[in-house]
Structure 1
């Protein structure tokens, strides 16, 4: 197959990782193109043909759409797979200039309803919750997966090591996590991996709570697997997720995961391993849960082991195979 992925690059986060991993896996047996920005090139297999494309342009501009149509005509893909609703609009409008229409697949990465997502011929939801917001002509569920990379032990100091991974954005709830850590009754070291617009605000919060020696904003790293493997607990404090790539990485590499009670977290982790992020006293609830886990850590590990034993359900190979089967239904 000739497969065209489209990705409006913002920064390397969950959506970008899903797209990159799919491209890198699909190119092993298919011809794969990616419309995106130059910044994504270091993450791509050399066989994936990256084509720079500016998704910031006016999607209602006839000249821009005509030029996009000529590009589609030249590439002649069997499938267009979009990872953002604006991309779906551009690909749909551009095909007004084409005689032969190309099927559009869209992935709904978060539980937000977008009316124009209905332009997709096939919608892919990444979780049962997200499926409720997936409104293409036809909609199915394909769970996210990750590519396994053998981890290394970073030999962190002998203290209870906690890790969080994600964009430094309000939706990730890192402020709640930091405030909760100021209330726990055990010694710890917390590392937050990721970059984003709230970096300075979160750093000031850490200073205000006198947590400089205990909470570190690490920034972006290429070896999240090593950090997960070397930590005692991963915490996901998001207010909103589709199916968190960070959670799946935690299943593959981490010792234990505590997550907010959203998306598929409770289904996967069980009631004991989630907390209610939506309540006004979420800081206290999270602090209590962290204290409980620390006090009963071995029991928590044993419970999480059952989910880790099923990790192949979330492999990149299984996810890619499911997507390719879905593509075939449209060709």
Structure 2
């Protein structure tokens, strides 16, 4: 099968990682093309053909759409898989200039309604909640998966080592997490992995709460699995998620996770592992949950082992197989 993925590059975060891992896995048995920017090349294997493409151009410009159609004609894919609604629009409009239409699959990565996502021939949601906002001609659920890599113990200094992973954006709730950390009654080291527009604001918050020796903004790293494996607890404080890739990675590599009670976190982890943060930004409740986990840590680790026993449900191999079966329904 000849498969074309499209990715509007912003920065390397959850959606980008899902796309890259899917391309790399599918390229083992299929001919894979990716329309994106050169920034993403280091993350792709040699079997994926990257075509530098700028999705920031005007998607209503006839010349741009005609040139895009010429590129599609040259590649001649059996299927187009878009990871963003803007890409989907470009791929849809460009086909006005083609004699033969190419089926389009769109993945809805977050629970936000996008009217023009309806242009997709098949919409794929990454979680049951996201499925409610997936409005293509036909819609189905395929959960995200990760590619397992053997982790290395980073041998952090003795402490209660905690980790959070995600883009430094308001929706990830890192400001709430940092405020809650100022209220816990145990010693700890918190590492936040990721880059984003709120970096300076979070640095100022850490300074104002006198947590600069306890909370570290690590930045972007390529070995998130090592950090998860070496930490005692992962915290997901998001106010909104599709299916968090950080959560899935935590199931594969982490010792225990607590997460905000949104999306399907409660169904995946169990009631004991979630806390209410969405409506009130309740830092007190998160602080209480952190104290509870610290005081009963081995109990939480033992309970979490039952979640980890289902980790193969979230493998990249299973995810890719599900997508390939879905593609076949359109060809």
Q: TM tier, shorter chain?
A: over 0.9
Which residue does 1:273 correspond to in 2? Answer: 273
Q: Distance in 2 between matches of 1:198 and 1:281?
A: 17
Counterpart in the other structure of 1:322:
322
Give a deviation string over 1:259-316, Cα, whole Å, max 9, x none.
0011110100111101111232511110010001111111111111101011000000
Tell me, in whole angstroms, the C-alpha distance in 1 between the residues paired with 2:80 and 2:73. 12
Taking the aligned partners of 1:321 and 1:274, their CA distance within structure 2 comes to 30
Quick check: 2:5–2:82 contact (8 Å CA) kept in 1? yes
Secondary structure in structure 2 of the residue aligned to 1:324:
helix
The 5-angstrom pairing of residues 200-239 of structure 1 reads: 200-239=200-239
**1:79-112 deviation line (CA, Å, top 9, x unaligned):** 0000000011000000001010000000000000
Q: 1:161 matched to which residue of 2?
A: 161
Aligned to 1:172: 172
Unaligned runs of 5+ in 2: none
Q: Which segment is superposed worse, 224-233 or 274-283?
A: 274-283
Count of residues paired in the alignment:
331
Alignment-derived partner of residue 69 in structure 2: 69
Corresponding position of 1:133: 133
- Counterpart of 1:295? 295
> Is the contact between residue 192 and residue 217 of structure 2 (CA under 8 Å) also seen in structure 1?
yes
Contact persistence 2:176–2:281 (CA under 8 A): no
1:108-166: CA deviation from partner (whole Å, max 9, x where unpaired): 00000000000000000000000000000000000100000000000111110000000
Q: TM-score, normalised on structure 2?
A: 0.99
Q: Which runs of 5+ in 1 are unaligned?
A: none
Equivalences for 1:4-19 in 2 at 5 Å? 4-19=4-19
SS of 2:32's equivalent? Answer: strand
TM-score (norm. length: structure 1):
0.99
1:281–1:75 distance in 2 versus 1, CA, 3 Å? closer
Structure 1 residues 256-265 or 271-280, which shifts more? 271-280
SS at match of 1:49: strand
Relative distance call for 1:164 and 1:281 in structure 2 (3 A) is closer
Displaced runs of 4+ in structure 1, greater than 2 A?
none
Root-mean-square deviation over aligned CA pairs:
0.6
**Contact in 1 for aligned 2:36/2:54 (Cα 8 Å):** yes
After TM superposition, the structure 1 = structure 2 runs for residues 89-100 of structure 1, keeping only pairs within 5 Å, are: 89-100=89-100
Q: Secondary structure at the match of 1:259?
A: strand
1:42 matches 2:45: no
Partner Cα distance (2:279, 2:132) in 1: 23
Match of 1:21 in 2: 21
Q: Is the 8 A contact 2:9 2:37 kept in 1?
A: yes
Closer, same or farther in 2 for the Cα pair 1:27/1:188, shift >3 Å?
Answer: same
